[in-house]
Amino acid sequence: MKQICLILLTCFLFLACSSPKPLLPSEKLYIWDGYLQSSLALGTNPSKTQLASHLRVLLNIIAQSDKAHKRVAPGIYAGVGQLYYDLGEQEKGIKYFLLEKSTYPEAKVFIDNALKELYPTQFGSQDKQAKNAKEEILTNNTKEEKK
């Protein structure tokens, strides 16, 4: 009881001083459903399973945005691309990088460079291909774990 009173008092005092305002602008440009929470859950050293779960959140943001006929927020497509690459699914990854570029022409120079430097597909070194293959196995293992 004492605690409830204290909480009520606290709320009252807060309201008395400053009217709370939203943290994001009222004009809602983008859908970010679950982005922050999912990022928070990733922590510092995310496992493959955590990355896959973050990927699902980002894919859902894209689906929700499409459904609402809204532009997908900056960096979401690129984030999906990067996650697919990290999870060993290069072809899907590249598709999303290209979507970032076509949605936001500002990103063209950088995405082209990033693909060249970070994710060379046709001309990738053997080391990278080997690494990707290994990651694919890991991902498959993760999938099996879930089953």
Partner 1 sequence: MKKYLLVLVSFIFLACSAHEGPKHSISKAQLFPQMYAQKPKSILILPAVNSTKSAKAAREFSFTVTMPLASLGYYVFPVHLVDAYIKEKHLSHEGIMKLPALKQLKEQFNPDAIMFVDINQWDYSYSVVKTTTTVGVVYNMIDANTGAQLWANSGVYDHVPGAVIVGGPIALAIGLTVNTIVAATSALTQNAQQYMQMAYVLNSHAFYDLPRGPYSKLYMKDQNVLLSYRDKSQLVGDKIYVQPYFIVGSKIDSANKDSLCLSGVNSLGKCSGLQSYERYYREKVIAGNKYFFNAFFHYENGLPYLLSDNKKVFIKTQPNGKITYHVQIIKPNEKLPTSFIQTGFNVMPNTTQPRAKVLYYFDVLRVDNLVK
- Binding positions for partner 1, rule: CB under 8 A: 2, 6, 10-11, 13-14, 16-21, 23-25, 27-30, 32, 35-36, 39-44, 71, 73-75, 78-79, 81-82, 100, 104, 106-110, 113-114, 117-118
- State which residue, 25 or 122, has the beta carbon closest to partner 1: 25
- Cα distance between residue 30 and residue 2, in whole Å: 42
> Shortest distance, CB of residue 1 to partner 1, whole angstroms?
12
> Shortest distance, CB of residue 38 to partner 1, whole angstroms?
9
- Cα distance between residue 41 and residue 89, in whole Å: 23
- Cα distance between residue 144 and residue 147, in whole Å: 5
Residues 6+ apart with CB under 8 A from 70: 29, 30, 31
- State which residue, 11 or 130, has the beta carbon closest to partner 1: 11
- State which residue, 25 or 146, has the beta carbon closest to partner 1: 25
> Shortest distance, CB of residue 147 to partner 1, whole angstroms?
29
Name the residue with tokens 């909480």.
Answer: 7
Name the residue with tokens 């497509």.
Answer: 77
